């Protein structure tokens, strides 16, 4: 009997404030979509870091002909300079930081260049003499790039030292800022959702002030009186969260996995399993916001 009454009150409240309920659902949907996007972006960044940082190399580019670097004043790297750089990389104090060292001659670099940029008209203007020979070093710990840089940078015959992490870090910086933007938008929209839920519950409580007064007179407890209002907000917010999860799942499935995954297959993308991980959090946030907003409002507007 009590459950039937509570469900009846919930249905009555949702019907009386249909427009406000729809507004709560939509605002909750938009705000939690931004929250989900921020969480998935961070997950994407973590996947890319885990995959790429383990593969990055430190490249020690040796002097080609006609280089303007101060360490290349003598022209193309000599055999003695090459041996000096190789000995520095093989030194006992450097060895613990190095996994593998591969040498690429300028002819090998030119062949790779021609293969990579085949069909480009300007690629035919380059010659093997324009290429850098280089050492490609895979580190045991990709964060220890500076150790290699300190050992070989500035030596005669070394034009520059490049860490691939520096290239990736720029991309990750952009993605991190996109995550912060999503979090900021989500915070604004969540605040709007809280205000809408509060307003909806207040209007519902005011419209049923007579009923709540009668319930108070017959000895109904605060929980029994307030529970229908709390559940109204929780249901509306949960529907919004469900729509957010559905939107994220569709976006990841069809835009990320199917479209981007087929177009750019060398990036480890987030998948629908990541959406399933985020989904309980979004629903939990929605219910928590609704219950908190309801309690704050009901303590004032259900007093008779």
CA gap 26, 292 in Å, rounded: 19
Total of domains in the chain: 2
pLDDT for res 275: 92
- The residue out of 129, 164, 199 marking a domain boundary is 164
One digit per residue, pLDDT tens: the chain, 304 residues? 455 544 555 555 556 666 667 877 888 888 888 888 888 888 887 787 766 666 677 888 888 888 888 888 888 888 898 889 888 888 888 888 888 888 888 888 888 877 777 766 666 677 777 788 888 888 887 777 778 888 888 888 888 888 766 666 676 677 778 778 877 877 887 787 777 777 777 766 666 666 665 555 555 555 555 666 677 778 888 888 999 999 999 999 888 888 877 776 667 788 889 999 999 999 998 888 887 777 776 665 445 4
- 154 and 71 Cβ atoms separated by less than 8 Å: yes
CATH number, domain at 159? 3.30.70.3040
Do 177 and 284 lie in a common domain?
Answer: yes
Please indicate, yes or no, whether residues 40 and 65 belong to a single structural domain of this protein. no
pLDDT of 11 reads 57
State residue 304's pLDDT score.
44
Quick one: 136 and 20 in the same domain? no
Same domain (yes/no): 145, 193: no
**Which residues form the domain of 93?**
58-164
Do residues 92 and 224 both lie within one domain?
A: no
- Boundary (domain end) residue, out of 128, 147, 164: 164
Distance CA 261, CA 100 (A): 31
How many CB atoms sit inside 10 A of residue 283's CB?
A: 18
Round to whole Å and give the CA distance between 189 and 8. Answer: 30
Collapsing DSSP to helix, strand or coil, 280 comes out as helix
| Cα dihedral across residues 181, 183, 185, 188: positive or negative | negative
Within this chain, do residues 221 and 190 fall inside the same structural domain, yes or no?
Answer: yes
61: nearest Cα among 159, 136, 130, 145? 159
Tokens for 93? 């104090």
- Residue 15 is predicted with a pLDDT of 61
CB 56 within 8 A of CB 144: no
Do 287 and 211 lie in one domain? The reply is yes
Domain edge (last residue) among 164, 181, 213: 164
Q: Tell whether 186 and 277 lie within a shared domain.
A: yes
Q: Does residue 152 share a domain with residue 88?
A: yes
The pLDDT of residue 14:
53
Alpha-carbon distance of 237 to 31, in angstroms, equals 11
Residue 102 and residue 19 share a domain: no
């Amino acid at each position: 009997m009590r459950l039937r009454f509570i469900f009846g009150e919930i249905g009555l409240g949702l019907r009386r404030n249909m427009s406000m309920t729809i507004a709560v659902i939509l605002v909750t949907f938009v705000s939690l979509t931004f929250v989900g996007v921020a969480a998935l972006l961070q997950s994407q960044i973590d996947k890319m870091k885990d995959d790429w940082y383990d593969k990055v190399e430190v490249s020690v580019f040796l002097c080609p002909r006609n280089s303007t670097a101060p360490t290349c004043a003598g022209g193309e790297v000599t055999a003695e300079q090459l041996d000096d750089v190789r000995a520095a990389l093989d030194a006992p104090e450097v060895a613990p930081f190095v996994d593998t060292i591969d040498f690429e001659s300028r002819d090998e670099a030119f062949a790779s260049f021609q293969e990579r940029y085949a069909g480009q008209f300007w690629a035919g203007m380059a010659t093997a003499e324009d290429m850098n020979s280089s050492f490609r070093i895979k580190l045991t710990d990709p964060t220890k790039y500076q150790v290699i840089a300190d050992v070989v940078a500035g030596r005669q015959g070394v034009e520059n030292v490049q860490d691939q992490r520096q290239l990736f870090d720029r991309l990750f910086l952009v993605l991190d800022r996109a995550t912060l933007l999503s979090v900021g938008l989500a915070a604004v929209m969540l605040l709007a959702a809280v205000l809408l839920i509060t307003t909806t519950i207040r209007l519902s409580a005011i419209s049923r002030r007579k009923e709540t007064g009668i319930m108070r007179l017959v000895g109904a407890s605060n929980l029994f009186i307030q529970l229908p209002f709390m559940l109204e907000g929780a249901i509306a917010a949960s529907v919004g969260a469900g729509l957010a999860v559905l939107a994220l799942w569709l976006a990841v499935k069809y835009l990320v996995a199917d479209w981007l995954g087929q177009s750019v297959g060398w990036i480890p993308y987030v998948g629908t399993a990541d959406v399933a991980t985020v989904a309980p959090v979004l629903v939990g946030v929605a219910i928590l916001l609704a219950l908190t907003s309801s309690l704050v409002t009901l303590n004032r507007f259900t007093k008779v």
